[in-house]
Amino acid sequence: MTADTNPLPSTSPEWKRLVAMAAEIQRELGSDRDLRHGPGASVSACGIEFDGELARLTPEALGALQSLARARNVERQRDAMFAGSIVNRSEQRSALHSALRAEDPTQRVPGVERQVGPMRDRMRALAEALHAGAMRGSDGDVITDIVNIGIGGSDFGSRLLCDALGDLAPVRFRVHFVSGVDGLQVERLCRSLDPRRAVFIVSSKSFSTVETLTNASTLMQWFSASAPLRVPDHWFAVTGNARAAAQLGIPEANVLDVPEWVGGRFSAWGSVGLPAALFLGWPVYREWLSGGTAMDEHHRQAPLEQNLPVRLALHNVWHSTFLDCPSQCIASYDNRLAEFLSWAQQLEMESNGKSVTEGGRPVDYATAPIVWGGLGNDGQHTYYQLLRQGTRRNAITLITVDTASRAYPAHATALAHQAQAQAEALSKRDGGAGYNSVMRLRLRDLDPRSLGALMAAFEHATTTAAWIWGINPFDQPGVELGKKLAAQIQSQAV
Ligand code: F6P
């Protein structure tokens, strides 16, 4: 790639103004003028409210960030992405994850329907057959267990859906996820699983990921040794590489395509979401897709000032780049979001963990934060001490759901009180070097639609932040060296 001669975003007047504003806020820390946004810092969409009242981001600085976003043409880049333009320039690809969830993909990008339509129809047919008891094993047994074999983007999205919405699934089904090459997941699964009642989904866009291929071949050997069962009755592949799937023994008829224009970490909206569609049932999965599409419409239509994903992105850029907060702590106050962090970590850190512009020019500013956290209530009894009295600068997002545990309303109320108290406590300082900037994301309810909307909002926040930083959020060249070295070590070992 030819050297990028475009001026770095950090040379713009909008950027320099923000550097000055951030310096003033840091100077005023601990003074009476302790600068925060204060009331009127909310933006809502699709049953989700983002509240930046406690964030160390003044209304003036927010305005300056919105000017920067305009100067960085985030609206033009957003529209180009939705229109199917080549926005992933290093791989010369579109990024059309939104078409996977669109009611009618053709409305978005002519021709994309040819890929999305058949894939979605196949997923629906399989899910409906399973839930109708029509999906049978070779011996005629009803299928009860779904095993997904995949890692990273071929694991996290489906795992989050199944965990967060699992209470909506019929009780007779179980879903299992096998990701790392450790072998323990495979071992424990083989101890409890009846192969006659199981379907296996080998999920890998490239079908070259060593962890997934190792787990798949071990499980297929176990499967073939356990009982005289036919692979076509029990094994499916989700991949952009049907030929490699055939080499593993999975017939083309059992392969669902992963289009090249969707990145792994954005892919659960398509065939990579098959384990979730099977486990939850098509209506629930379809609702989730619709939630994502509703957020797409908001992101496409709402002005920057009232655009929830853009607001998330601006807070992310502000804290990571201007206020020099090295990390973003996501603390979820609903156990149904226990898997949210892993999904959000890959999304942000694999997308924006970059130190060169799209054109290959080294940046002179911080990009993606380290994303960490987990279940907030548990975090209170582990790492909140550091957040309260440590020496670090912390950007903290608390996610709450107004209707947490229905079975035990008293627990839901107690949890809400904890979250409210912690938002206040975390935004107070006890002197010392560290400080926190606290944001809140409130979901009216956690159902398939709102989860879809939440995940789409985070996706758009990640791509919007990337466009402000001038980096490419759709590739992950940094992961290749480790894979290459592991393959070399493996080949030298045999
Ligand atoms: O190594 C990182 C990565 O390529 C991710 O981007 C991807 O989600 C994951 O590995 C799995 O890749 P695949 O779906 O091709 O097996």
Atom of ligand 1 nearest to the CA of 154: 14
Helix 184-192 and helix 210-226: axis angle, to 10°? 20
- Flag whether pLDDT at 244 surpasses 60: yes
pLDDT digits (tens, 9 = 90+) for 90-127: 999 999 999 999 987 666 677 788 889 999 999 999 99
Give the mean pLDDT of 80-95.
96
Which pLDDT value is given to residue 106?
A: 63
Give the mean pLDDT of 27-56.
84
Strands 198-203 and 235-239: parallel
Nearest CA to ligand 1 atom 10: 152
Question: Which H or E element spans position 493?
Answer: helix 480-493
For ligand 1, say whether the CB of 78 is within 6 Å of any of its atoms. Answer: no
282 vs 126: CA distance, rounded Å = 9
CA–centroid distance, 13 to ligand 1, in Å, is 38
Q: Is 483 a catalytic residue?
A: yes
Q: Is 381 a catalytic residue?
A: yes
What is the pTM assigned to this prediction? 0.97
For ligand 1, say whether the CB of 148 is within 6 Å of any of its atoms. Answer: no
Atom of ligand 1 nearest to the CA of 258: 14
- Flag whether pLDDT at 78 surpasses 90: yes
For ligand 1, say whether the CB of 151 is within 6 Å of any of its atoms. Answer: yes
CA–centroid distance, 19 to ligand 1, in Å, is 36
- Flag whether pLDDT at 202 surpasses 90: yes
Nearest CA to ligand 1 atom 16: 204
Nearest CA to ligand 1 atom 13: 204
Percent of the chain past pLDDT 90, that is, above it, reads 87
pLDDT: which is higher, 25 or 156: 156
pLDDT digits (tens, 9 = 90+) for 408-429: 889 999 999 999 999 999 998 7
- Flag whether pLDDT at 145 surpasses 80: yes
397 vs 455: CA distance, rounded Å = 15
CA–centroid distance, 52 to ligand 1, in Å, is 34
Strands 48-51 and 174-178: unpaired
Question: Which H or E element spans position 69?
Answer: helix 59-71
pLDDT band at residue 2, thresholds of 50, 70 and 90?
Answer: low
pLDDT digits (tens, 9 = 90+) for 342-397: 999 999 999 999 999 999 999 999 999 999 999 999 999 999 999 999 999 999 99
Q: Which residues of 344-365 are buried (b: 16+ CB within 10 A; e: fewer)?
A: bbbbbbbbbbbebbbbebebeb
Catalytic residue among 350, 358, 459, 460: 350
CA–centroid distance, 265 to ligand 1, in Å, is 8
Distances (CA, A) of 124 to 102, 275, 291, 334: 15, 12, 17, 29
Q: Is 319 a catalytic residue?
A: no
Which candidate, 446, 378, 353, places its Cα nearest to that of 167?
A: 446
For ligand 1, say whether the CB of 369 is within 6 Å of any of its atoms. Answer: no
Give the mean pLDDT of 199-227.
96
448 vs 289: CA distance, rounded Å = 8
pLDDT: which is higher, 494 or 15: 15
- Flag whether pLDDT at 484 surpasses 80: yes
Q: Are 112 and 105 in contact (CB under 8 A)?
A: yes
DSSP assignment of 450-467 equals HHHHHHHHHHHHHHHHHH
Percent of the chain past pLDDT 70, that is, above it, reads 97
Which pLDDT value is given to residue 229?
A: 86
257 vs 121: CA distance, rounded Å = 12
Identify the weakest region by mean pLDDT among 10-24, 33-47, 265-279, 451-465.
Answer: 33-47
For ligand 1, say whether the CB of 206 is within 6 Å of any of its atoms. Answer: yes
For ligand 1, say whether the CB of 479 is within 6 Å of any of its atoms. Answer: yes
Which pLDDT value is given to residue 435?
A: 86
CA–centroid distance, 402 to ligand 1, in Å, is 35
DSSP assignment of 350-393 equals IHH--SB-TTSPBPSS--SPEEEEEEHHHHTTTTHHHHHHSSSE
For ligand 1, say whether the CB of 342 is within 6 Å of any of its atoms. Answer: no
CA–centroid distance, 124 to ligand 1, in Å, is 25
Which pLDDT value is given to residue 41?
A: 87
Give me the chain's average pLDDT, please. 94
- Flag whether pLDDT at 158 surpasses 90: yes
For ligand 1, say whether the CB of 265 is within 6 Å of any of its atoms. Answer: yes
For ligand 1, say whether the CB of 72 is within 6 Å of any of its atoms. Answer: no
Atom of ligand 1 nearest to the CA of 350: 6
